[in-house]
Structure 1
Amino acid sequence: MAHTVREKQKLLARIRRIRGQVEAVERALENEAGCEVVMHVLASTRAAMAGLMAEVVEDHVRSHLVDPNTHPDALNAEAVEQLIDVVRTYLK
């Protein structure tokens, strides 16, 4: 997956932020925070993971399915954007 190597530092930065969010969930539970606080932190963690997944999927589509240099007969640009929009919406 060349695109993950190319974007390695950016992806690692995102996952480190997600790790911090997971640690915030742990702290909230350890400190017996209210349900509202725990749910809020969980929701933000889930959204961060979905965003990371959407980014990896988008890069995969652009790199492996529709790169005109590698796949000249690949999907057209409009279809690519529609697919990526659907994936991003689904992962929210």
Structure 2
Amino acid sequence: MAITTSPPTGSREKSLARLKRIEGQVRGVARMLEEDRYCIDVLTQLSAVKSALGAVEREILKDHSRHCVAHAIDSGNAADQHEKMNELIELLAKHYRL
């Protein structure tokens, strides 16, 4: 079985569906602010949005590792391998402020 450089369509579709739900959540939070809802309720919803975005982020990172990074490893091309590893290191450093 060949490894592709892009995630399967089903995985992208799942992420897009999640993002559309998150978009609805964000609109709901905006409505809460317009309606002057209780701050704790707004903060609770914001926390849910951040958690949902984190789940999408993790899924895309897994897909990248399974496909793009795995493809670079399997290719035997040292330059491609270094490039993919450096991308991951930079991403993690930015995300975790390393």
Please state which band the TM-score falls in when normalised by the shorter chain: 0.5 to 0.7
Residue 46 (structure 2) aligns with: 42
Task: Confirm or deny: 8 A CA contact 1:4 1:11 kept in the other structure.
Answer: no
Normalised to the residue count of structure 2, the TM-score between the two structures is 0.64
Instruction: Identify the structure with the greater helix proportion.
Output: 2
Mapped to 2, the partners of 1:22 and 1:34 lie a distance apart of: 16
Deviation track 1:30-89 (CA, whole Å, cap 9, x = no partner) reads 110111101000000011111101100011001122359x6177xxxxxxxxxxxxx8xx
Q: Which runs of structure 1 show a deviation greater than 4 angstroms over 4 or more consecutive aligned residues? A: none
- Identical pairs, percent: 28
Q: What are the equivalent positions in structure 2 for 1:71-86 lying under 5 Å apart?
A: 71=74
Normalised to the residue count of structure 1, the TM-score between the two structures is 0.67
- Specify the code of the residue in structure 2 equivalent to 1:71: D
Residue 13 (structure 2) aligns with: 9
Larger radius of gyration: 2
Aligned length: 75
Residue 80 (structure 2) aligns with: none
| Gap runs ≥5 in structure 2 | 77-91
CA RMSD of aligned residues (A): 2.6
1:18 aligns with 2:22: yes
Deviation track 1:1-45 (CA, whole Å, cap 9, x = no partner) reads 621645232121111100011011101101101111010000000
Q: Secondary structure at the match of 2:7?
A: helix
Say which structure, 1 or 2, has more relative contact order (CA 8 Å, 6+ apart): 2
